[in-house]
Structure formats: C-alpha cells, structure tokens
Amino acid sequence: MRCEQLDTVIEAVADGSYQLSADEQAHVDVCATCRARLDEARDIERLLQTRAQPVTPASFTSAVMLRIGQERWRAERAIDAGFNLAILAGSLVILAGGAGLAWSLGLLTINVDIGALLRALDNSGGVTSRVLSQVQTVALAATLLTTTLIVWWWAEAATD
C-alpha cells in the first residue's frame, strides 16, 4: 500500500462515504503521514460542516429594490435624452430643409461682400473696438449660461 494510493480516498474516508479496507486500515495504523493526512481531512470536514452561516443584511431586499429603481430611472433618462436629441435633430433638418427650399425657389438670397464688410468695420473703429464694446454683454451671457449649467448639473446629481 502506497501513501499516494491512500491519498486519493482520504476525503471520502473523512466524510464517511468510503470505508477503509483491512489492508488500508493496517497501513494507516503504521504510517504517520497517512494518519496525519486523515486527521487533517477530518478536521477540514468538521469545520466545513460547522462553518457559521453568513447573515444576510436586514436591509438587503430594500437595497436591491432601490438599485432596481435607480437602474430603471437611468434607463428612462437615457430614453428621454435620446428622444430630445431626435427632436432637436429633426427640427434642424426641417429648418435646413425649409431654408434650402426657400433658397432654391429664389425666396432667400444671401450676398456677402467680405471686402465691404471689413472696410465698414475699419471705418467704424475696427474689429477690436467692436468686440470690446460687446465684452460686457458677452461676459454676462457667458455667466448666465455657466450658472444655468451648474444648477442643472447639481439638480441631476442630487436626483441621482
């Protein structure tokens, strides 16, 4: 009887599903290695059978339902965003189509004379002075836009 042969049935012996033959038992009686292995296998079996059952947190079900609600809300929000984008894209297409139609019918004529435009700007103090005169208005608009975006972002985060 070799120890390696016995090693393959030690777990079955430890859990009681295999009975050692007389030869095998005789080997275990004189072999300290196999005896130690069998003792350890029995220790493992005993510990596995008596392991403490993890306790499911009391709020587990509520937490799952909350996450399901959040997932559903996110999915709905994604659908809303897609819908809004589609509406926007549709509006742009309609506008562009209308403009194209008007242009093709000769109802819309755009003439741009860059040279005349630049000369007009130069005559009235140049591009820089024109831009500077509008800085206050542009800054106010940018501040309003930024504030709106921040408030929107905060509201979205608070809802999450």
Partner 1 sequence: MDATSEHTLIARCRQGDEGAFRELVDEYKGLVFTLIARSISNQARAEELAQDVFLKIHKGLPYFRGDAKLSTWIYRIVINALAQERPDLATLSLDDQEIGPAIQPAATDTTFGALLLRDRLQKAIERLPVAYQVLINGHYLQGLRYEDLAEALDMPMGTVKTHLHRAKRRLRKLLETEFR
Residues of this chain that interact with partner 1 (CB under 8 A) are 4, 7-8, 10-12, 14-15, 17, 33, 36-37, 39-41, 43-45, 47-49, 51, 53-54, 56-57, 60-61, 63-65, 67-68, 71
C-alpha distances out from residue 47 to 7, 15, 43, 83, 159, Å: 20, 12, 6, 58, 48
Residue 8 or 136: the one with the smaller Cβ distance to partner 1 is: 8
Residue 21 or 91: the one with the smaller Cβ distance to partner 1 is: 21
Q: Is 31 within 8 Å of 38 (Cβ atoms)? A: no
Q: Is 48 within 8 Å of 17 (Cβ atoms)? A: no
State the minimum distance, in angstroms, from the CB of residue 64 to partner 1.
5
State the minimum distance, in angstroms, from the CB of residue 65 to partner 1.
6
Compute the distance between CA of residue 79 and CA of residue 76 in angstroms, rounded to an integer.
5
DSSP 107: S
DSSP 17: S
Residue 39 or 156: the one with the smaller Cβ distance to partner 1 is: 39
State the minimum distance, in angstroms, from the CB of residue 82 to partner 1.
19
